[in-house]
Each structure stands twice: as C-alpha cells, then as structure tokens.
C-alpha cells in the first residue's frame, strides 16, 4: 500500500507540473508569483521628466499618469510591475501579453491602430526645439539654416525640420536624448528636436542650462497602448484620465516633472478629451 501511495503522489506531482507549464504558456503573469494579481505597465526608463528609472524607482509624467490610472483600476502602487518599453518593441509587447498597458510617449496613429488599440489621449505634445539657455538666435525651426540639429536615431523629427522649415540645417543623430543633450551642452550641436514635453524633461534635468524654445510646430497625441479591441478597458482608462484632469492631478504632474523650465503645454490642445478606443 505504501509503494502504491508513493506512485500516486509522483503521478499527481507530474500532473500539477504539466498544468503549471500550460498555464505559463497561456499567461505570462501566471509564470511568476511576483506578477500574480498585479498590473504590468510599460514605460520608458531613459526619458527624464516622463519615464525614468532612478535608483530602483520610477519617476516622470507618464509614470504619474500610469499610477493614477492603475489606482482607479483597483491597483496600489506596490501592485504595479514596471517594464521597459522601447519604442520598437511596444506593439509586440502588447500583442504578446507582456504588459497590460503602455504609457511611453506613445503617439496614437492609424498605422499603430492596425496592431494595437489606444485609450486617451492623456497629453498632446508638439515638436519643438531645445537650445542652450543663453542662445537667443534660435526662436523656431526656420532659424536652423546653417545650424547643427540633433535628433535620436530612427526619429523623423529632424527630417521634418529639414523638409519643411530649414533645408540647409545640418543633421546629427545620437542613440538617445541624453546624448543629444550632452552634444548641446558641449557645443557640438546648436539644438535638439523632439516632442516638447520630452525636451522639457531634459531641460529640467539640466539645472537651468538648457531651455525649450516654446514654439511647437506639430501635434502628437499620446495614448495608453492596450491590447487591440479591448473597448471595456479603454473606457475605464479614459474615465480615470478624465478624473485626473478634473481634480488637478494632471496639471500638478506636469508642473512637478518640468520644474524650473517655465514649460506650459500647448493650451490649444491641452488638456485633451480622452475618448479613444471606446468604439
């Protein structure tokens, strides 16, 4: 009888192990106890003022919006699992179920909506310029002829300036915005271009040495990336963003994360009305 019971227990353990393996293939969260019952949110780890990993913590405007939304969905801050969401991997992360949502300066576009859905927008950015604080020769993209302009590899921001505003601008690419800011500090380039709120984060981190020109010339609607077709989740996220704007938390989050820059969002488009993804 003892031998029989031992065999039964072995068979039961093997069956449980097989069931666990199946669960892992069906749900990423089921594979790790640390993610069970938590919400997984993708953010940038390297964008000051928006999504930045700092000494094991996460700070920035995108982070603040994500925390607010998560709370309204029923999750406390210690029930959030932060995951790095590089630009090129965002769609795949949502499609594969690696994250539940992404807030990572993720512009809503028709092309991206073929692969994923969005809630929001929670912010409308505009392409702008970052310059040295004491440089007043650049007041808009049309002033960049003969100047050196930095943007991140793979970005279309600098090409937009060259095609539409300053055909004689000299373009320089760097792997990240921090490298562009360093090139600006040292005088290697005369300006950096990308979305204004990203530039404001860099300016805030520069301790007053850099400034945003404040003449945005495009519109980028930042959305919360979610799995395609999840209208129920989109409605809940939109309700949370609406509440964040209404109670003043949205405005405070922008002020806190762009402190010292005199940055203000384009009032023509902000705060936005979040209705995306509900149909």
Decide: 44 and 50 in contact? Cβ < 8 Å: yes
Return the pLDDT at 3: 42
Q: What is the pLDDT of residues 9-32, one digit of tens each?
A: 454 445 444 444 444 444 444 444
**What ranges in 61-156 are assigned the alpha helix state H?**
61-72, 90-95
Span between the terminal Cα atoms of the chain, in Å: 62
| Tally of helices (H runs) and strands (E runs) in the chain | 9, 13
pLDDT in tens, 225-238: 999 999 999 999 99
Contacts of 106 (CB under 8 A, 6+ apart): 85, 90, 112, 118, 222, 223, 224, 225
Mean pLDDT of 113-126: 97
Model confidence at 82: pLDDT above 60? yes
């Amino acid at each position: 009888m003892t031998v029989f019971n031992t065999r039964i227990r072995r068979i039961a353990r093997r069956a449980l192990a097989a069931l666990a393996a199946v669960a892992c293939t069906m749900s990423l969260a089921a594979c790790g106890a640390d993610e069970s019952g938590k919400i997984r949110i993708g953010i940038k780890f390297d964008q000051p003022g928006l999504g930045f990993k700092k000494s094991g913590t996460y700070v920035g405007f995108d982070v603040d919006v994500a925390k607010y939304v998560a709370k309204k969905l029923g999750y406390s801050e210690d029930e959030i699992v932060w995951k790095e969401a590089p630009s090129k991997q965002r769609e795949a992360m949502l499609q594969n179920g690696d994250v539940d949502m992404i807030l990572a300066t993720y512009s809503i576009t028709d092309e991206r909506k073929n692969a994923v859905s969005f809630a929001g927008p929670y912010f409308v950015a505009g392409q702008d310029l970052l310059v040295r604080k004491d440089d007043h020769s650049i007041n808009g993209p049309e002033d960049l002829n003969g100047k050196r302009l930095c943007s991140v590899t793979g970005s279309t921001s600098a090409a937009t300036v060259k095609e539409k505003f300053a055909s004689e601008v000299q373009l320089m690419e760097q792997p990240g915005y921090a490298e562009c800011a360093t090139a600006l500090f040292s005088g290697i380039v005369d300006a950096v271009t990308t979305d204004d709120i990203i530039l404001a984060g860099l300016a805030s981190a520069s301790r007053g040495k850099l400034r945003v020109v404040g003449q945005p010339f495009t519109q980028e609607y930042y959305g919360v990336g979610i799995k395609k077709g999840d209208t129920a989740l989109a409605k809940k996220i939109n309700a949370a963003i609406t509440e964040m704007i209404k109670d003043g938390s949205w405005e405070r989050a922008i002020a806190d994360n762009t402190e010292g820059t005199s940055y203000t969002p384009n009032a023509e488009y902000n705060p936005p009305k979040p209705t995306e993804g509900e149909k």
